[in-house]
Structure 1
Amino acid sequence: MGAKVLVTGADGFIGSHLTELLVEKGYEVRAFAFYNSFNTWGWLDTLPASIMDHVEVFTGDIRDPNGVREAVKGCAAVFHLAALIAIPFSYYSPDSYVDTNIKGTLNVLQAARDFGTGRVLITSTSEVYGTARYVPIDEGHPYQGQSPYSATKIGADRLAESFYRSFSLPVTIVRPFNTYGPRQSARAVIPTVITQLLAGKTEIKLGALTPTRDFNYVKDTANGFYQIFKSDKTVGEEINIATQQEISVGDLAEELIRQINPAAKIVCDEERLRPEKSEVNRLLGCNEKIKRLTDWAPQYTLAQGLEETIAFLRDHLDLYKTDIYTI
């Protein structure tokens, strides 16, 4: 196997897929998982032994600088994905987003600087752009914090930039647009719709239907991280991972209804609506930069990705609480 790399948030949705990919590419992975007394490792618990034999699970809390230092020590690269990401929950608990997303990122940057880590990839989000002022959204688009979540990610990104400019830390800011696929929680729109349909519901509860999103299948997102990591042209850059295609939430939901239960219909649930000035109405990303600097290109169409996602959720529906609104 190759060098040891650290993946924070490895127990989560994208992190578990990235862990899997890195092992397949020949790396030993130290997987940073959120400590809990049940000794559960999130989605890592579902990975086969052929993958986990090359994974060292490190349990801790990204908010704890001492634990983060121990995790970073001895790793050739850090893929920092640990974060609080649910937008509705950020309305209720913004302090926790500052502590996790900003201070947690600072802990990673400080440790990587102290240990001379060779590469540091910091995970951003397309939400930092807010509603598109022009499309496709390139990396020069202005930032707008339309939720406490996006504001903390803007802060984390700018901290990462400062460590590159101030201390020459080899940082890259990786900015995926909306990722979906197997293992995603029901706080996101695609698993929300699919799990309601698979549970037999005929009234599918959603918030706003008109916003558009640029959806990456999770394996394409994970490969985006890998290709950015492999390129020596990406240090000091911030790079979108995007398909450069968009679909509205309403049209997406109608397509899923068509595939799973054509008798179902959409109903607006006011609890799921964002405050008017907080809703991001349009996200359509530009992928010119990632294609120019790396060998990345999306391998999955939306139709292919949805097919795999539906199949996974059908087999794992028992893991989802379809009778409540997951924030």
Structure 2
Amino acid sequence: MGKLVAVTGAEGFIGSHLVETLVRGGARVRAMVLYNSFGSWGWLDDLPPEILEHVEVVLGDVRDPVSVREFMRGAEVVYHLAALIAIPYSYAAPHSYVQTNVVGTLNVLEAARDLQTPRLVHTSTSEVYGTARSVPITERHPLQGQSPYSATKIAADKLVEAYHLSFGLPVVTLRPFNTYGPRQSARAVIPTIISQIAARRPVVRVGALRPTRDFNYVRDTARSFQAVGDAPAERVVGRTLNTGTGVEVSVGDLIRVIADVMGQQVQVEEEQQRLRPEGSEVMRLVGDNSELRAATGWAPHFDLHAGLEATSQWFLEPRNLAHYRPDQYTI
């Protein structure tokens, strides 16, 4: 096996796929999982044994600077994915988002500075752009905090920028647009739709139908992390790079595509409790990925139809669908 890399938020949706991608690429992976008393490794528990034998799992918490520093010690690349991500819950518990997304990132930056980590890949989000003022969205688009979640991610991104400019920290900020695929929380729109159809609910209940998004299949997103972790420093260090397909689809049209992929006819209902406050809803997101392509050679392999087929097949497995509660809306 090759170099040692470390992944925070490894038990999550994108994190678990990234761990798998990195191991298959020949890396030794140290994976931070949020400490819990259940002995759960989150979605890492679902990875095959031949992957897990190359993963060192560490229970910790990015909010604690000591555990972060020890976790990162000796890693050649640190991929920082740990974050609170559910936008509706950020309205209810904004302090927790500041502690995890802002203070947690500060702890990672301080550890990287102390340990002289050769490369830190920080995870941003397309939500920092807010509703698009121009499309496709480039990395120079203004940042707009339209939810407490996006505000904390903007703060984290700016801390990363500051540590690069102030201390020369070798950082890359990767800004994925909407990622989807197996293992994703039902807090996101695609698993919300697919899980209800897979459970044969007669009515699919969603939030707003008009917003548009740029959807990336998770294996492509994981490859983009790997690409910026491996690229020559002069091509990526100090930069923010979008991961997107450049294809825009509304939530309403997305439901029709998913229903077609799954061979079902569905009724759709907008539920008031799923709607964001009017000024907080991001109406349009579609990304320009040309800088990432030029810097690393990355390009998406999955179009929306292929990604939705793979995702729906995963959800149709009873043991996978059992992780979800299609009749329950959780913020």
User: Shorter-chain TM-score: what band?
Assistant: over 0.9
| Alignment TM-score, normalising by the size of structure 2 | 0.98
- 2:75 aligned counterpart, secondary structure: coil
In structure 2, what is the Cα distance between the partners aligned to 1:142 and 1:225? 23
Q: Say if 2:180 and 2:218, in contact at 8 Å, map to a contact too.
A: yes
Match of 1:324 in 2: 328
| Equivalence map 1:270-309=2 (5 Å) | 270-309=272-311
Q: In the TM superposition, what whole-angstrom CA distance separates every residue of 1:109-139 from its partner, at most 9, and x where no partner exists?
A: 0001000000000000000000000000000
How far does residue 326 in structure 1 lie from its aligned partner after superposition?
2.7
| Equivalence map 1:155-166=2 (5 Å) | 155-166=155-166
1:88 equivalent to 2:92? Answer no
- Structure 2 portions without partners, runs of 5+: none
How far does residue 10 in structure 1 lie from its aligned partner after superposition?
0.5
Of residues 229, 241, 255, the one that matches 1:253 is: 255
Match of 1:310 in 2: 312
In structure 2, what is the Cα distance between the partners aligned to 1:260 and 1:44? 27
Q: Say if 1:124 and 1:153, in contact at 8 Å, map to a contact too.
A: yes
| Equivalence map 1:162-181=2 (5 Å) | 162-181=162-181
- Structure 1 portions without partners, runs of 5+: none
| Equivalence map 1:26-37=2 (5 Å) | 26-37=26-37
How far does residue 261 in structure 1 lie from its aligned partner after superposition?
5.4
In structure 1, what is the Cα distance between the partners aligned to 2:181 and 2:172? 24
- 2:58 aligned counterpart, secondary structure: strand
- 2:279 aligned counterpart, secondary structure: coil
Q: In the TM superposition, what whole-angstrom CA distance separates every residue of 1:170-217 from its partner, at most 9, and x where no partner exists?
A: 001100000000110110000000000111111110110000000000
How far does residue 77 in structure 1 lie from its aligned partner after superposition?
1.1
In structure 1, what is the Cα distance between the partners aligned to 2:57 and 2:182? 21
In structure 2, what is the Cα distance between the partners aligned to 1:136 and 1:260? 30
- 1:174 aligned counterpart, secondary structure: strand
Match of 1:111 in 2: 111
| Equivalence map 1:10-159=2 (5 Å) | 10-159=10-159
Q: Say if 1:7 and 1:80, in contact at 8 Å, map to a contact too.
A: yes
How far does residue 231 in structure 1 lie from its aligned partner after superposition?
1.3
Q: Say if 2:261 and 2:305, in contact at 8 Å, map to a contact too.
A: no
Ranges of 4+ aligned residues in structure 1 off by more than 3 Å: none
How far does residue 84 in structure 1 lie from its aligned partner after superposition?
0.2
In structure 2, what is the Cα distance between the partners aligned to 1:28 and 1:148? 35
Q: Say if 1:197 and 1:261, in contact at 8 Å, map to a contact too.
A: no
Q: Say if 1:137 and 1:283, in contact at 8 Å, map to a contact too.
A: yes
User: AA paired with 1:7?
Assistant: V
Q: In the TM superposition, what whole-angstrom CA distance separates every residue of 1:43-64 from its partner, at most 9, and x where no partner exists?
A: 0000011101100001011111
In structure 2, what is the Cα distance between the partners aligned to 1:68 and 1:20? 22
Aligned residues: 327
Bigger shift: 247-256 or 124-133? 247-256
Q: Say if 1:97 and 1:152, in contact at 8 Å, map to a contact too.
A: yes
- 1:56 aligned counterpart, secondary structure: strand
Bigger shift: 252-261 or 269-278? 252-261
| Alignment TM-score, normalising by the size of structure 1 | 0.99
How far does residue 257 in structure 1 lie from its aligned partner after superposition?
2.1
1:242 equivalent to 2:230? Answer no
User: AA paired with 1:22?
Assistant: L
